[in-house]
Amino acid sequence: MDAQTIVFAILALISLFSGIMVVTRKNPVHSILFLVLMFFCFAGFYVMLGATFLAAIQVLVYAGAIMVLFLFVVMMLNLRDPEALEGGTSFFQTLGFVVAIGFGIVLLAFLAGKPGPGVPTFPPGEAAYALGDAKSLGQELFHNYVFPFEIAGILLLAAVIGAVALAKRERV
């Protein structure tokens, strides 16, 4: 067993553990903190796959900004009594369970099949490392995929304008 496999195993165990904790904790603040831990492990996976730029962005955007907002909102809501949330299983909980099981089956089926072309192998080759840094990612984004990139930009711009329009107070 080489060092990479050991690191992968540790990261995988931590992310599985924190994933289970996210859905089983009663206290939403605990769930969010475990989710942050999980994002960290994901960043670790990205680094192992040679996608260092993506790893940094993962921590910067998800762990550093979006989860802080989540935490912010949960604290503002101040869910006083987590026990009150329990009750019976609702329709959405059942639906979520079914979807999760289905997704799990799909994933397992994917893993059981042999990797086709374009599916990354582990450990990644030199080519993957060369592709993962900011420069090549930028080349791809701004040359081959410039149209989808711009569309995504416009989508985000629309979302920002929408948020401003919603939050704007009526001028008296």
> Interface with another protein by CB under 8 A: which residues?
27, 29-30, 33, 36, 52-53, 55-57, 59-60, 63-65, 68-69, 71-72, 75-76, 133-134
Whole-number Å distance between alpha carbons of 123 and 3: 11
72 vs 110 by CB, closer to another protein: 72
68 vs 101 by CB, closer to another protein: 68
In the chain the first and final C-alpha atoms are separated, in Å, by 70
17 vs 107 by CB, closer to another protein: 17
8 vs 67 by CB, closer to another protein: 67
Task: Tell the smallest beta-carbon distance from residue 164 to another protein (Å).
Answer: 11
59 vs 131 by CB, closer to another protein: 59
Can you read off the two tokens belonging to residue 90?
A: 């609702």
Task: Tell the smallest beta-carbon distance from residue 121 to another protein (Å).
Answer: 23
Task: Tell the smallest beta-carbon distance from residue 59 to another protein (Å).
Answer: 4
Whole-number Å distance between alpha carbons of 65 and 162: 20
Task: Tell the smallest beta-carbon distance from residue 90 to another protein (Å).
Answer: 27
Give the CA diameter of the chain: 70
Q: How many CB atoms lie within 10 A of CB 163?
A: 10
Task: Tell the smallest beta-carbon distance from residue 9 to another protein (Å).
Answer: 20
Contact 117, 38 (CB under 8 A): no
Whether omega for the bond prior to residue 123 falls within 30 degrees of 0, making it cis, is yes
Residues 122-132 as b/e (b if ≥16 CB within 10 A, e otherwise) read: eebeeeeeebb
Given phi > 0 = left and psi -120 to 50 = alpha, else beta, which region is 50? left
